[in-house]
Structure 1
Amino acid sequence: MTTQVYSLSVCARATLNMHSLNNEGSEGTQIQTRMVDIVAADGRLYNVNAISGDMFKHIQAEHLYHIARNGSNLPLCAACQVFDANRISADQEYTDQIKGKSDA
């Protein structure tokens, strides 16, 4: 029996050297980057560029997609096979299963 995975949670500690991932916005010709305060191993406070959880989730999902598609035999729903971010709504099998059902 195969169980389809619709959600995966990963917890990790990483040091990333990236820029402009999920900027806060812009004013005129200036881009406001996402900034956070961190306490480093030396105990000092630093203000550094950051990425949002959504952007990190997208990066992780793309890596998992490539692993699943390149010989790992991981089962993927129809939408995941084409890397559609709208996985639930784009999965026709799931849509057929809930047709006529209501949460009301």
Structure 2
Amino acid sequence: MNLTNGNVQVLTLNASTTLAFSGATNGAACSLSLYLKQDATGSRVITWPSSVKWPNGVAPTLSTGANKIDLVVLETLDGGTTWFGALAGADYR
């Protein structure tokens, strides 16, 4: 996900996906609201980079049903070296 494309992005999952983040301003804080949308097949899985830290060290369980949408908010304080993630909403229909 390239932050130069904006801080609100939609990713339609048509395959299981390993995410990477780029484009954060070096040394600056920024955030990304990421809408993850399952395609009509569903069952797609996200693999998060190790730079993403989650509450209690556990990545959230995301929706896998066809056409379901989850919202994940990611913030960095150090230009993208470390990201703090939170599931803001799940199973939107």
Q: TM-score, normalised by structure 1?
A: 0.20
- Pick the structure with more helix per residue: 1
- Pick the structure with more strand per residue: 2
For CA contacts below 8 A with separation 6 or more, give which structure has more relative contact order: 2
- The structure with the largest alpha-carbon Rg is 1
Q: TM-score, normalised by structure 2?
A: 0.21
